[in-house]
């Protein structure tokens, strides 16, 4: 997030796109709704009528996969209404003219047809967003999990720059991170192309420093992304994997390929707190400690690094992840794997990662955490990003063009399947939450959301199970009739191993981010025959 | 003649008194732990225990009198059928430093578990408890016991009530058990003087002005007797309730529970009772899937109306004691104070 979470309450306009915030980020949703209570306008872009969409002043229920067309339409409307922030554009950005000329060539009626949203609604949203000088955009995986995910984000950035709604408190672009510490994992370079703190592999000085401290050679070329690894297949180069706290056998797209890959490995090690479907395939399983059994830091969506204390010692033979990694490292003769405390690890992070430069344990103990960038011991942390200038200098407008998802509906597969989290009762593949009896009682099984019109056409009884087929596989799942989904669209979650919905999803991914297109695939729905 | 119902305990005598009490019974008091949290804790060593009477205990007495999970009975399967055995007896317990709101809650819980028949599992603990309250001279930021008529000082219900006069405690006995205790340990106490009484009244007057929450509890209870709350309020509150059950778990008067059997092995098992919450959809969902409560609109209706409407009609008093714990715990910002404020604005029909 360029902003802080608390700033959402003070914004005048909140544009939320591709985020079922009340169910996936309840605390952020609370800030958004309290902003609305104070008079802020809420615009929601989502194919589904989520709880937040129900409370929105404008809900843009677009056809799945048409985000770019919609944002382009909003930007064109803003320019038509003369609501662009010309001063901001001239002072802080570049290449605006190219984008403007492209937008002028767009046919707005075509955009209405592509997105399925009436022009007057698009214009209304454009006016509300652009007239405010304190507008934030929150986006989540509904924006990124597309073959055009990177362009979707660029389109959102264009929109914010066009109206000068960035570089300030109560105005910005706020990706809502998916897991409690995914921000921290990215910051620490659990990514194939960067060193900690987003220092590029082409940064010679940074590489030299890391090589010196880690006493090893650091490759100059990026490694592989997650899906590239789990989809590398039988003929792939990968012979061994170590998977920590992840369950790709349920969570990655096109599961058959994932299974093929994992089963042909010479060696698979998995560490997790429960024996997951992935761990069941492993040659070696490390029982890992839960959050309560280990200390460390967690970095949340607003870049806040918070200290997490060990509440109880690890139960049984389980060990903290850090302990497992260090023990592995020692056995592999990896130098420097002799940290005696978490604070010592943080000292190395502060030394090598400029944005964490001032994040020392003793400072984190005194408060609710510090937000990066925090350059040195005296730095108070950063509430919002890009004050006075962007990381690259001037913000660059880049034209983004609509293109259809990898799979579009056709006669054989007439429905669009959207996947995501189904409820706040379960988390991801439910490896943890299904071990809680109460949570299981509250949300016991997978449900396929289907519109009443489609349900009637298929002559379904309430709750009747159906078979959902895609080109890659099929699952059987109970249905629930709801107006949350539009006719022609169905939705379900990936929480339940009994309904491994990712057997159906496409393996197409964004060419740059390598993020798979979980949000769109074409399926057919059949009644289960009573034999 | 000495009035044993009211005595003064010099502060220097508190630890010596508690040391004596701990010999006859399990002593439980608010202790600040190493994380800085104040919780009712069993005291093993009175000299090492950091009794904290400055902060509100994060949980009420509920975890002791109605544990989060308790064994109601054990069972074994024999050839002659199932044989049930009652769970173990409980020790005599003295609770020191109980807040007025929490004592009021215990009195309410006594009623709940008395009807239609006495709940033996609850009363086996309750009957062996002696409750010593501490009047609140400084209400906490979320408290509103005065508005809900359950504090900051009590008129009845306690075994003993302590009020902090600065260098001593003004101690009143409210029940036989408390009076017996005073009589037994008389030499720790001195008689009450007029100046002690004066101090006590002064404190009682001053505390009224110290509440920061301005909540119209009794007005709303009255209003609810013959007015319906507008659906839009229920809709708004329910939309922001995350079903976490936090409010019900910290609430000293929430008593919803569910009973499960847990097998130990093929022929042995436990019958367990655990806390539940009426805000959970699984609490009201029928086997066939039908749910009489629509979570999207009515998730919090039962909870708030039970406390403020039905109990008020039955007892003349709401079963919200104003302890304010749900205010901090609520994930979605829709605790009972939010509801009372909305309802008090007259958004009722």
Q: Give residue B57's pLDDT.
A: 96
Residue A478 CB contacts under 8 Å (≥ 6 apart), including other chains: A445, A446, A447, A448, A463, A464, A465
Residue A531 above 80 pLDDT? Answer: no
Chain B residue numbers touching A55 (CB-CB < 8 A): 239
**Are the beta carbons of A51 and B239 separated by less than 8 Å?**
yes
Chain B residue numbers touching A34 (CB-CB < 8 A): 333
Mean pLDDT value across residues A150-170: 94
- Residue whose entry in the numeric block shows the structure tokens 């225990």: B49
* Least Cα separation, residue B165 to chain A (angstroms): 35
* Least Cα separation, residue B294 to chain A (angstroms): 13
**Are the beta carbons of B282 and A55 separated by less than 8 Å?**
no
In degrees, rounded to 5, the angle at the alpha carbon of residue A169 between the alpha carbons of residues A163 and A171 is 25
Mean pLDDT value across residues A109-131: 97
Q: Where are the beta strands (DSSP E) in A187-318?
A: 194-195, 199-200, 240-244, 267-272, 284-287, 296-299, 304-308
**How far is residue A46's CA from residue A364's CA, in Å, rounded to a whole number?**
38
Interface predicted TM-score (ipTM) of this complex, two decimals? 0.85
List pLDDT tens digits, range A413-472. Answer: 999 999 999 888 999 999 999 999 889 999 999 999 999 999 999 999 988 999 999 999
Residue B83 above 80 pLDDT? Answer: yes
List pLDDT tens digits, range B221-258. Answer: 999 999 999 999 999 899 899 888 999 999 999 999 99
Mean pLDDT value across residues B168-193: 95
Comparing CB atoms, the residue among A33, A34, A442 nearest residue B281 is A442
Comparing CB atoms, the residue among A424, A438, A463 nearest residue B242 is A424
Q: Give residue A37's pLDDT.
A: 93
**Are the beta carbons of A463 and B289 separated by less than 8 Å?**
yes
**How far is residue A169's CA from residue A177's CA, in Å, rounded to a whole number?**
19
Q: B27 and B45 in contact (C-beta within 8 Å)?
A: no
**Could you tell me the pLDDT band of residue A234, with boundaries at 50, 70 and 90?**
confident
The chain-wide mean pLDDT, for chain B, equals 92
**Could you tell me the pLDDT band of residue B347, with boundaries at 50, 70 and 90?**
low
Q: Give residue B314's pLDDT.
A: 92
Chain B residue numbers touching A309 (CB-CB < 8 A): 35
Residue B1 above 50 pLDDT? Answer: no
Alpha helical stretches, state H, chain B? 14-24, 62-65, 100-112, 120-126, 176-184, 194-207, 217-226, 231-239, 246-250, 281-284, 295-298, 301-305, 311-315, 325-329, 336-344
Determine the CATH number of domain A415-527: 2.40.40.20
The chain-wide mean pLDDT, for chain A, equals 94
List pLDDT tens digits, range A311-355. Answer: 999 999 999 999 999 999 999 998 889 999 999 999 999 999 999
B-side interface with A, Cβ within 8 Å? Answer: 35, 239-240, 242-243, 245, 260, 280-282, 289, 331-333
**What Å distances lie between residue A92 and A170, A353, A386, A400, CA to CA?**
18, 27, 10, 20
Q: Give residue A372's pLDDT.
A: 93
Give the pairing of strands A93-94 and A395-396: parallel
What are the b/e assignments for A396-432, b being 16+ CB within 10 Å?
A: bbebbebeebbbebeeebebbbbbbbbbbbbbbbbbb
* Least Cα separation, residue B124 to chain A (angstroms): 27
Q: Give residue A304's pLDDT.
A: 96
Percent of chain A with pLDDT strictly greater than 90 = 89
Chain A residue numbers touching B280 (CB-CB < 8 A): 438, 441-442
Chain A residue numbers touching B333 (CB-CB < 8 A): 30, 33-34
**How far is residue A19's CA from residue A26's CA, in Å, rounded to a whole number?**
11
Mean pLDDT value across residues A215-241: 90
Residue A380 above 60 pLDDT? Answer: yes
Kindly state the tokens that stand for A447.
Answer: 């449900």
Q: Give residue B348's pLDDT.
A: 56
CATH 3.40.50.740 describes domain A182-293+310-352: yes
Residue A245 buriedness (CB in 10 A; 0-12 / 13-18 / 19+)? middle
DSSP state, residue A82 = T
CATH architecture of A5-176: 3-Layer(aba) Sandwich (3.40)
**How far is residue A294's CA from residue A179's CA, in Å, rounded to a whole number?**
18
- Nearest chain A residue to B238 by CA: give it: A51
**Are the beta carbons of A26 and B333 separated by less than 8 Å?**
no
Residue A29 CB contacts under 8 Å (≥ 6 apart), including other chains: A21, A22, A52, B240
Look at residue B177 and give its three-state secondary structure: helix
**Are the beta carbons of B333 and A30 separated by less than 8 Å?**
yes
- Nearest chain B residue to A424 by CA: give it: B242
Mean pLDDT value across residues A201-220: 92
Comparing CB atoms, the residue among B281, B289, B332 nearest residue A26 is B332
* Least Cα separation, residue B122 to chain A (angstroms): 23
Look at residue A27 and give its three-state secondary structure: helix
Reference A32, options A301, A329, A226; nearest CA is A301
Residue A120 above 80 pLDDT? Answer: yes
**Could you tell me the pLDDT band of residue B3, with boundaries at 50, 70 and 90?**
low
Residue A115 buriedness (CB in 10 A; 0-12 / 13-18 / 19+)? buried
Q: Which of A94-108, A386-400, B137-151, B208-222 has the highest mean predicted lDDT (pLDDT)? A: A94-108
- Nearest chain A residue to B286 by CA: give it: A441
Domain boundaries, chain A: 5-176, 182-293+310-352, 415-527
Q: Give residue A367's pLDDT.
A: 83
């Amino acid at each position: 997030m360029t902003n802080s979470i608390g700033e959402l309450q003070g914004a005048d306009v909140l544009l939320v796109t591709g985020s079922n915030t009340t169910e996936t980020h309840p605390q952020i949703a609370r800030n958004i709704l309290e902003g609305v209570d104070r008079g802020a306008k809420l615009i929601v872009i989502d194919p589904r009528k989520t709880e937040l969409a129900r409370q929105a002043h404008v809900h843009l229920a677009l056809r799945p996969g048409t985000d770019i067309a919609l944002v382009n339409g909003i930007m064109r409307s803003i320019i038509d209404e003369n609501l662009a922030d010309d001063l901001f554009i001239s002072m802080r950005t570049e290449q605006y003219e190219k984008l403007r000329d492209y937008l002028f060539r767009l046919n707005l009626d075509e955009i209405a047809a592509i997105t399925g949203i009436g022009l007057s609604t698009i214009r209304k949203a454009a006016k509300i967003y652009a007239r405010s000088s304190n507008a934030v955009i929150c986006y989540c995986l509904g924006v990124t999990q597309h073959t055009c995910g990177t362009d979707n984000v660029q389109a959102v950035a264009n929109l914010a720059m066009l109206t000068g709604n960035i570089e300030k408190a109560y105005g910005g672009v706020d990706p809502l991170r998916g897991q409690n510490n995914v921000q921290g994992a990215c910051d620490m370079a659990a990514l194939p192309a960067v060193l900690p703190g987003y220092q590029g592999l082409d940064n010679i000085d940074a590489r030299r420093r890391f090589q010196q401290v880690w006493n090893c050679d650091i490759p100059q070329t990026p490694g592989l992304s997650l899906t590239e690894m789990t989809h590398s297949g039988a003929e792939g180069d990968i012979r061994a994997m170590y998977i920590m706290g992840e369950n790709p056998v349920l969570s990655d797209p096109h599961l058959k390929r994932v299974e093929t890959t994992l089963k042909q490995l010479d060696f698979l090690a998995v560490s997790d707190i429960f024996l997951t479907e992935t761990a069941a395939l492993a040659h070696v399983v490390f029982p890992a400690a839960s959050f309560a059994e280990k200390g460390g830091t967690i970095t949340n969506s607003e870049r806040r690094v918070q200290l997490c204390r060990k509440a109880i010692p690890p139960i049984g033979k389980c060990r903290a992840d850090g302990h497992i990694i260090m023990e592995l490292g020692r056995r592999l003769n990896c130098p420097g794997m002799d940290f005696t405390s978490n604070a010592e690890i943080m000292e190395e992070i502060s030394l090598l990662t400029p944005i964490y430069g001032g994040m020392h344990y003793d400072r984190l103990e005194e408060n609710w955490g510090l937000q990066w960038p925090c350059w040195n011991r005296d730095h108070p942390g950063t509430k919002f990003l890009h004050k006075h200038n962007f990381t690259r200098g001037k913000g660059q407008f880049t034209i983004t063009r609509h293109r259809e998802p990898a799979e579009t509906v056709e006669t054989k597969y007439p429905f669009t399947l959207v996947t995501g989290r189904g409820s706040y009762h379960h988390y991801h593949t439910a490896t943890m939450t299904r071990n809680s009896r109460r949570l299981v009682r509250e949300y016991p099984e997978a449900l396929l959301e289907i519109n009443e019109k489609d349900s009637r056409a298929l002559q379904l009884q309430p709750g009747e199970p159906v078979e959902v087929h895609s080109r890659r596989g099929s699952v059987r799942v109970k249905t629930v009739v709801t107006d949350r989904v539009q006719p022609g669209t169905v939705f379900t979650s990936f929480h339940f191993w009994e309904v491994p919905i990712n057997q159906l999803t496409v393996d197409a991914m964004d060419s740059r981010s390598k993020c798979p297109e979980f949000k769109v695939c074409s399926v057919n729905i059949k009644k289960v025959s009573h034999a | 003649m000495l009035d044993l119902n009211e005595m003064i305990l010099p502060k220097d005598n508190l630890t010596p008194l508690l040391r004596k009490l701990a010999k006859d019974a399990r002593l439980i008091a608010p202790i600040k732990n190493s994380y800085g949290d104040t919780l009712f804790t069993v005291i093993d060593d009175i000299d090492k225990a950091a009794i904290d009477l400055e902060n509100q205990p994060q949980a009420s007495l509920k975890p002791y009198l109605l544990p989060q999970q308790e064994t109601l009975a054990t069972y074994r399967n024999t050839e002659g059928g199932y044989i049930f055995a009652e769970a173990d007896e409980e020790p005599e317990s003295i609770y020191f430093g109980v807040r007025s709101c929490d004592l009021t809650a215990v009195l309410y819980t006594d009623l709940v578990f008395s009807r239609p028949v006495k709940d033996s599992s609850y009363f086996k603990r309750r009957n062996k408890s002696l409750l010593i309250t501490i009047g609140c001279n400084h209400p906490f930021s979320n408290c509103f016991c005065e508005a809900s008529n359950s504090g900051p000082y009590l008129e009845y219900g306690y075994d003993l009530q302590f009020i902090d006069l600065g260098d001593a405690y003004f101690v009143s006995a409210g029940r036989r058990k408390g009076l017996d205790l005073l009589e037994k340990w008389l030499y720790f106490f001195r008689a009450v003087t007029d100046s002690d009484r004066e101090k006590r009244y002064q404190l009682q007057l001053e505390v009224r002005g110290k509440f920061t929450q301005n909540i119209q509890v009794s007005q709303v209870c009255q209003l609810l007797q013959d007015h319906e709350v507008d659906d839009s309020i229920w809709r708004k509150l329910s939309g922001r309730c995350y079903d976490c059950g936090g409010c019900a778990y910290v609430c000293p008067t929430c008593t919803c529970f569910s009973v499960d059997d847990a097998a130990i092995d093929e022929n042995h098992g436990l019958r367990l009772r655990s806390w539940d919450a009426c805000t959970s959809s699984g609490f009201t969902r029928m086997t066939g899937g039908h749910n009489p409560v629509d979570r999207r609109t009515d998730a919090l209706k039962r909870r708030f109306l039970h406390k403020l409407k039905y109990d008020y009609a039955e007892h003349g008093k709401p079963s919200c004691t104003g302890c304010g714990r749900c205010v901090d715990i609520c994930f979605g910002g829709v605790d009972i104070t939010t509801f009372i404020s909305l309802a008090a604005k007259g958004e009722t029909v």
